[in-house]
Copies of this chain bind each other. A is one copy, B any other.
Amino acid sequence: MKPAHVDYRVYLVTDRPLCLGRDLLDIVRQAVHAGVGLVQLREKQASTRAFVELGRSVRAITSKASIPLLINDRIDVALAVGADGVHIGQSDMPFADARKILGPDKIVGLSIDTWEQLLQANQLDLDYLGIGPVFPTTTKTDTSGEWGIAGITRARAASVHTLVGIGGITKDNAGQVIGAGAHGIAVVSAICSAPSPARAVKDLRTAVEQGRRSYQTRL
């Protein structure tokens, strides 16, 4: 079953190279204990077997904390490890195929990076949109332009979906992104590369709460 409530406020997306040689599982564990609401395991180079094995290890951490685990792109890995769903991008499985294979009880999130994709997504039975890059980022290089804070405000007005901003988000700008209307922020390097992943999560949570108050005040 799909979790009754998913907390998208501070959402960890993993990236092994950005862990700077530290153990990915250890960073996930710290981040989960410090309060991320959701983890997406992203492995672009691993063999299927290695991805499944790593997925099972991360699953053990997220299950214990009762938070959902999503797998980037790979529905086969998600099924094998019993993940709560997948996150797919524009060059991954077409959304309709992903939903058909996984059924209504799994979370399916979709990355969009253009206004056209944002509007098209209003027709899709998806759980959330990853909208990015919000700011310039070196993590993803296959996107065009940035949304910026004003873009997030327009996106919130135009989209029917839960919006998770991604790309270049840090504790210093997370509040603005939420204040502009994003429901959550997804971060890679701000947690994976942080000297203290736990501290980073706490700072991001604080920034997000400030952003939520700012958004509600303006309503």
Contact = CB atoms under 8 A, between A and B. Distances in A.
A52 B91 contact: no
A97 B75 contact: no
Chain copies in the assembly? 2
**Interface core residue of A52, A91, A97 (most chain B CB under 10 Å):** A97
Contact of A75 (B76, B88, B90, B94): B76
A101 B79 contact: yes
A119 interface: no
A48 B80 contact: no
Interface in A86-121: 88, 90-94, 97, 101
Nearest to A92: B48
Nearest to A97: B80
5 nearest A-B pairs in the assembled complex, by CB-CB distance? A75-B76, A76-B76, A47-B91, A80-B97, A48-B92
21 contacts: A47-B92, A48-B88, A48-B91, A48-B92, A48-B93, A49-B91, A49-B94, A50-B91, A52-B93, A52-B94, A52-B97, A75-B76, A75-B79, A76-B76, A76-B93, A76-B101, A79-B101, A80-B93, A80-B94, A80-B97, A80-B101
Given A52-B93, A52-B97, 7 more contacts: A48-B91, A48-B93, A75-B76, A75-B79, A76-B93, A80-B93, A80-B94
Interface of A: 47-50, 52, 73-76, 79-80, 88, 90-94, 97, 101
